[in-house]
Amino acid sequence: MRSSLPERLVAVLRRSDVLPAAAPSPASPATAGERRRRTRGASVGQLAAAIPGLADELNGRARTAGLLVGWVAVFAVPLWALVDQVTEGDNASAFLAVRLLCDIPMLLALIVMWRFPVGRRHPELLTFLILAVVQAEVAWIVTRSEDPRYHLLGFTLAIYGSGCVLVTRPRWTVALVGVSWAALGLASATAEEGLSGGELLAVSVYLATASLIATLAHLRRNALTTSELLTRVRLEREQQRTGVLLAQLERLSHEDPLTGLANRRRWDAELDALCTQARARGDVLGVVLVDLDHFKDVNDRHGHAGGDDALRAVAGLLSARVRAGDLVARLGGDELAVLMPGADAPRAAEVAEELRRAARTLQPTGFAAGEISLSLGVAAAAGADAYPLELMSRADEQLYRAKTTRNAVGAGDGTAAPTPTHAEPQPAG
């Protein structure tokens, strides 16, 4: 059931500028329907707070509109004295004095809105104060005018301006309507003669019509603004979710799902980039290829789940033992690799030997002590010799030589026939 106009007015006036309930945690994501229900009753201020920078944008719009209306009011109020000269006779001088006096607080509010930070933060309040001064001044003049018909237009313009022109919330139009009626009542009560019954009726009809039209127009405009902002909030949230998904997709496209290491795609890209950099700067680059010994036998004894555990254990070892700037990747099957920028052949061989020894201590659940061993091939290149295919080919040759004995590190400078530098006998079984 639709709410009545009074209920909507009360709802507008009672709204706070606090965001709705916090977004649900990832553990309990809200459905699209729940998100729509959560934001359906949100005010413009609440929705603006959900989009970074939007509150400042709305304040900027309100300030621009407020400055425009304020300057018009500052100049129009004294100029209306020309009408007084024709219609008011002896009252014209007093009316002009009141108009000029009212220009002082309006000018002060305009200067604050124009030049000071508080004016950029609270343009709606300052605009309301300007229009409230206009309404108080016109109400005083109307109740003392010889013919108030000429001033009724001015008495309604401010209300129409607040409801249909200003970029403000409906509460300010409702507040201005209240100020207008209060000013009219106070001015009527303090006037010596006051308005006749017919004149008071005419003024009340004019003011009531303007109040109703401006309030309804402002409520409608506010509803459209809220709908626009709600669409922007939903779009922002969808873009954020899309960004998260794209980041996850990007990560997954460069990550091996079993071990969490870099995959072959990222390895190739990094190797190519570092080789290009090495050729340009004369840097050195080391590569260590790693192969689990007798991996087929491991799978036969422990099943594929056991083989996966072994791979994850070795991957964790490599990630923990290399430098922060090195890249550890799974190239496929049981073959892993370490890319070491700035490491020459002796340094790469030293790291490979440390990894070979540490691997003997790995013992995943269900494995015997020393059951896991590694064969490692080392190669390095510097400057103009740093090309991905040649570097990988030399490392692969070293790995092939290491696998002739298993549990060994093959290393060489690439000019002589490489031989395993370290080897240990494999445990029986």
Segment 254-260 mean pLDDT: 87
Complete domains list, the chain, with CATH = 5-240 (no CATH), 264-422 (3.30.70.270)
Instruction: Decide which of 239 and 229 is more confident.
Output: 239
Q: List the one residue out of 115, 112, 154, 97 whose CA is nearest residue 131.
A: 154
Mean pLDDT score across all residues of the chain:
82
The DSSP symbol for 91 reads: G
**Gap between the Cα atoms of 232 and 55, Å rounded:** 13
Instruction: Decide which of 35 and 310 is more confident.
Output: 310
| Residues 158 and 206 sit within 8 Å (Cβ to Cβ) | no
pLDDT at position 95 over 80: yes
The amino acid occupying position 143 is T
Q: Which are the contacts of 304, defined by CB distance < 8 A and separation ≥ 6?
A: none
Q: Locate tokens 């896991």: which residue?
A: 372
Confidence category of residue 429, pLDDT binned at 50, 70, 90: very low
Tokens of 75: 């100049």
Give the lowest-confidence range in 26-30, 192-196, 244-248, 406-410.
Answer: 26-30
pLDDT at position 11 over 50: no
Confidence category of residue 241, pLDDT binned at 50, 70, 90: confident
The DSSP symbol for 90 reads: G
Confidence category of residue 15, pLDDT binned at 50, 70, 90: very low
pLDDT at position 173 over 50: yes
**Gap between the Cα atoms of 407 and 373, Å rounded:** 5
Statement: the pTM of the whole predicted model exceeds 0.95: no
Q: List the one residue out of 36, 44, 16 whose CA is nearest residue 224.
A: 44
Phi-psi region at 406: left, alpha or beta (left = phi > 0; alpha = psi -120 to 50): left
**Gap between the Cα atoms of 157 and 136, Å rounded:** 13
Instruction: Decide which of 71 and 50 is more confident.
Output: 71
pLDDT at position 253 over 80: no
**Gap between the Cα atoms of 26 and 47, Å rounded:** 21
**Gap between the Cα atoms of 183 and 188, Å rounded:** 8
Confidence category of residue 267, pLDDT binned at 50, 70, 90: very high
Phi-psi region at 260: left, alpha or beta (left = phi > 0; alpha = psi -120 to 50): left
pLDDT at position 203 over 70: yes
pLDDT-above-90 percentage for the chain: 41
Tokens of 104: 């002082």
